[in-house]
Amino acid sequence: MQPIILDLEWNQPTNFRSGGYRTSGGKLVFEMIQIGAVKLNENREIVDTFNQLIQPSCYTRLNPHIVKITHITPDELADAPYFLEAYNAFMDWCGDDSVLLTWGCDDISVFEQNVRYFGSERKLPPICDIQRLFAEEIGTPKERKSLRHAMEYLEIEPSEDRAFHNALNDAWYTAQVFAHMSTGNEKLGEYRLKAKPIVHQDKRHRTSLSVRKVTRGVPTMLKSRFCVHTPCPVCGRVYQLSQGYVTQPGRQYTALAQCPDHGLYYVRIRVVTHEDKQRYLERVAELTDEQSPAYVSTKLLQWQNKLNAQQKRAENGI
């Protein structure tokens, strides 16, 4: 079998009310915008490359986060082929006797969903997980190391002219890691991948709730780590507030925070008295539906104006 290292880049909706998301009905979560791949010989040396940008037809507006990490611009995609043409070109390049190798399971899941959504009957070659193979080889089978970690572990220096988060470059780096591994190609079949279902998070999964007992005055508690460093309701990673808290009626306080991957989210603090007669802070984090750059920048500006007005009232004793 011809081993081929594969990597993808993809776009995602700017918000859950976008026309693209309504059109897809949630059947296409991430739309591919680049396929990068390298062919290897029996010595794991690169003998050919494939690099194809793809013009999106569902999520036609590039998510600002995707532009930031991939550096792919709308102008670069304007003349690129749509998915089916790019996919057929890739399959022709792979040939009839190939095996795809990827770093982790994300690429195969996204690839399979795009193939189904756009209606191609051509099936992808078998796909194997080099990330899992690497974990087994270094004796940490339950851990999934990033590609950068694997390169550092093997002392592979990144190239100045090969930026990460480019499908071809990441495929090239993955090939360097694979070339340093001692496990034979005959073991690849033990690491076959199956695509996993990909679904958008619904509203219930875009909200998180935490509770903390009030041990000091509420103004002091609002400056504590519990209130200032809050988890993204989607991924759970903790981020500091973008702005401070605005006082709301009914002993409530509201602020904004940002996750690099999932965007702007509200943080609401409510002071409640439980059955034990003790006061508690209930912190709710909820992802906003609208995530366009204009909305985010406008909302942050509005929030700062509210904070300024609140501070001015406090200084004047109002």
**Crossing angle (nearest 10°) for helices 83-94 and 106-117:** 120
For residue 203, what pLDDT is reported?
45
Sign of CA dihedral 106, 110, 115, 117: positive
Query: Token pair for residue 266?
Result: 């509200």
Query: Token pair for residue 187?
Result: 């073991």
- In single-letter form, the type of residue at position 125 comes to P
Cα 87 to Cα 82: distance, rounded to the nearest angstrom: 9
pLDDT tens figures, 173-188: 999 999 999 887 777 8
Query: Token pair for residue 290?
Result: 């609208």
More confident residue, 65 or 128: 128
Q: Which helix (H) or strand (E) holds 8?
A: strand 2-11
Contacts of 277 by beta carbon, 8 Å cutoff, 6+ apart: none
Q: Which of 191, 226, 259 is the last residue of a domain?
A: 191
Same domain, 172 and 219: no
How confident is residue 204, by pLDDT bands cut at 50, 70 and 90? Answer: very low
For the residues 59-74, what does the mean pLDDT come to? 90
Check: CB of residue 258 under 8 Å from CB of residue 287: no
Cα 107 to Cα 92: distance, rounded to the nearest angstrom: 19
Q: Is 270 in a helix, a strand, or coil?
A: strand
Same domain, 42 and 78: yes
Same domain, 104 and 230: no
For residue 289, what pLDDT is reported?
65
Q: Is 284 in a helix, a strand, or coil?
A: strand
Same domain, 153 and 296: no
Q: How many domains does the chain have?
A: 2
Q: What is the pTM of this model?
A: 0.65
Mean pLDDT of the chain: 87
Same domain, 185 and 129: yes
More confident residue, 294 or 176: 176
Burial class for 270, CB neighbours closer than 10 Å (0-12, 13-18, 19+): middle
| Residue 302 CA from chain centroid, whole number | 27
Whether residue 292 is predicted with pLDDT greater than 80 in this model: the reply is no
CATH at 87: 3.30.420.10
Cα 287 to Cα 308: distance, rounded to the nearest angstrom: 24
Same domain, 43 and 67: yes
Check: CB of residue 43 under 8 Å from CB of residue 77: no
Q: Which of 168, 191, 214 is the last residue of a domain?
A: 191
Whether residue 205 is predicted with pLDDT greater than 60 in this model: the reply is no
For the residues 266-293, what does the mean pLDDT come to? 82
Range of the domain at 49: 2-191
Query: Token pair for residue 211?
Result: 């509770």
Domain presence at residue 281: yes
Check: CB of residue 36 under 8 Å from CB of residue 4: no
Whether residue 301 is predicted with pLDDT greater than 80 in this model: the reply is yes
Same domain, 209 and 165: no
Q: Which of 191, 211, 236 is the last residue of a domain?
A: 191
Domain presence at residue 297: yes
CA count, 13 A, side-chain hemisphere, 256:
19
Cα 154 to Cα 169: distance, rounded to the nearest angstrom: 18
Same domain, 182 and 207: no
Domain presence at residue 196: no
Domain presence at residue 293: yes
For residue 25, what pLDDT is reported?
63
pLDDT tens figures, 230-277: 888 877 888 888 778 888 877 789 888 888 877 888 898 988 887 778
Check: CB of residue 132 under 8 Å from CB of residue 144: yes
Same domain, 246 and 142: no
Domain presence at residue 198: no
Percent of residues, the chain, with pLDDT higher than 70: 92
Domain presence at residue 42: yes
Cα 173 to Cα 49: distance, rounded to the nearest angstrom: 13
pLDDT tens figures, 109-126: 999 999 999 999 999 999
Cα 281 to Cα 238: distance, rounded to the nearest angstrom: 18
Same domain, 52 and 177: yes
Sign of CA dihedral 181, 150, 166, 29: positive
Neighbours of 292 (CB within 10 A): 17
